[in-house]
Amino acid sequence: LLTRQGGSVSGPGNLPPLFSPRYGVYLLRFQLFLIYWVAVVTRFPDEYWKNGDSFGYYLLSDFCWFGGPWVLEATWLVRTATWGAQFVEFLIPLLLLGRRTWKAGFALGFLFHLALAITTTNLILFSLSMMMIYLAFVRFPETGADEPS
C-alpha cells in the first residue's frame, strides 16, 4: 500500500518514495495528437471524404451493425456524419491542449470512441485502446491537480 509522508508517496516498509517520470505521459499525449491529426490530414485528398460519402460506404458494408438500404435515402445524414466525424477528430486534440477545455476534449473523445465501439464490428479494440490513452490527460490526486500540465 502507498502512503503519503512529507509530501512524497512511499511504499510499505523502507522502500524509497515512488517516482514516475513525466515523459511517458507526454509521449502518450503526443501519440494521441498524432493519431488524430494524421487521420484528418490523410483524408483531405480523398474524394469520398470531400464529398461526404465515406460514412455511407461504411454503413453499407458488413462492418456496421445497423447499416442497410436506408442509407441510400439519407444522403444528408451520411454527409453530416462523415464531415462531423472529421470535425470531431480535428477538434479533440485542440480541446485537450487547453487547461480550461481538456475535460471537454476528454469527454468528446471518450464518447466518440465509445460510439465507434458500439456501432462497429471491427473497431472495438482500437476504440478501447484510444479510450485508455485519454487517461494520460487526467491528473490523479497524488499530483495535487486535475488539469494537464
Burial 69-80 (b: 16+ CB within 10 A, else e): eebeeeeeebbe
pLDDT tens figures, 102-140 = 999 999 999 999 998 888 888 889 999 999 999 988 877
Q: Is the confidence at residue 23, as pLDDT, over 80?
A: yes
Can you tell me the mean pLDDT for 4-27?
A: 64
What are 36's three cell numbers? 488524430
pTM: 0.75
What are 77's three cell numbers? 445524414
pLDDT tens figures, 78-92 = 999 999 999 999 999
